[in-house]
Amino acid sequence: MRKRDTYTELAKKYGLRSRAYFKIKDMDKRYKIFKPGDYVIDIGAAPGGWIKYIVNKIGFDGRVIGVDLRPIERFDEPNVEIIVKDIFSEDIFKELKEKVGNKEKVDVIVSDASPNITGVYEVDTEKIFDINKRVLQICDKMLRPGGTLVIKTFEGRHEKTLMKLLKKRFRIIRKYKPKISRKRSSETYYICFRYQDLRSRTS
Ligand SMILES: C[S@@+](CC[C@H](N)C(=O)[O-])C[C@H]1O[C@@H](n2cnc3c(N)ncnc32)[C@H](O)[C@@H]1O
């Protein structure tokens, strides 16, 4: 309880937008996810804690495109783009392509997207699995070969199937629960490296 309050207070004190800031920081410290100049799509980005961390890491040569159903308060940095939209909407790919511009594909996709929790295990795990599959469709259109994915899911049901889908696409996969994730939460993250071009896949 004390720990959770500490991170929430720290995020507020330093204007980090959400305590989630510390989760991506923890994962990046361990796995070195972002490099200067990277183009990054952040799925489920509101209120913007991850964007805040990422934009600092990629510098002015990079770009971060945050997508969420909810509006995200404007960032001062000119290389932050926001799309307020459901990732299941049909024109999401068109919008992403516009924001990515000439580079066409991004280096990293991160997804902290999470459904509204009902507390019913079957419902919540089904919903996040649908989101996870949609994130993989976005990877297939928008992630460059060799790129990286960070994706949140819930432990348990569908996790093995998700792993199979990840293994088809990525050479290296690590499972990680950030230290600040709430103990009772079943959230967990997969950090996946070396995306394989569709044409080089065997199945
Ligand atoms: C845990 S919050 C993300 C926190 C964020 N990473 C941060 O650092 O501030 C999960 C977000 O996923 C978003 N989300 C859930 N389903 C979505 C969907 N279908 N399309 C876009 N965003 C979605 C929610 O609106 C919510 O803001």
Residue ranges of domains in the chain: 2-200
Tokens matching residue 120: 């019913």
Tell me the CA–centroid distance for residue 161 and ligand 1, in Å.
22
Q: How far is the CA of 203 from the centre of ligand 1 (A)?
A: 31
* Residues of the chain predicted below pLDDT 50: 1, 3, 203
Q: Can you give the pLDDT at residue 1?
A: 47
SS3 156: coil
Report how far residue 130's alpha carbon sits from residue 125's, in angstroms, rounded to the nearest whole number: 9
Catalytic residue numbers, as ranges: 152
Would you list the DSSP string of 74-91? PPSSTTEEEEES-TTSTT
Q: Which atom of ligand 1 is nearest to the CA of 50?
A: 8
Pocket test for ligand 1, best of 65, 114, 128, 130 (most atoms within 8 A of CB): 114
Q: Do the Cβ atoms of 96 and 41 come closer than 8 Å?
A: yes
Q: Residues with beta carbon inside 6 Å of ligand 1? A: 17-18, 20, 44-50, 67-70, 86-88, 112-115, 131
Give the SS3 label for residue 170: strand
3-state secondary structure of 196: coil
Position 76 scores a pLDDT of: 95
Rounded distance from Cα 50 to ligand 1 centre (Å): 11
Superfamily of domain 2-200: Vaccinia Virus protein VP39 (3.40.50.150)
Cβ-count burial of 178 within 10 angstroms (0-12 exposed, 13-18 middle, 19+ buried)? middle
Residue 63 CA to residue 66 CA, distance in Å, equals: 10
Q: Helices H, strands E: what count in the chain?
A: 6, 7
- Classified as helix, coil or strand, 19 is coil
CB 138 within 8 A of CB 96: yes
Residue nearest to atom 20 of ligand 1 (CA): 86
Structure tokens at 112: 């902290």
Provide the CA 18 distance to its chain's centre, in angstroms.
15
Closest atom of ligand 1 to 131 CA is: 19
Can you tell me which atom of ligand 1 is nearest the CA of 24? 8
CA nearest neighbour of 10 among 43, 42, 49, 48: 49
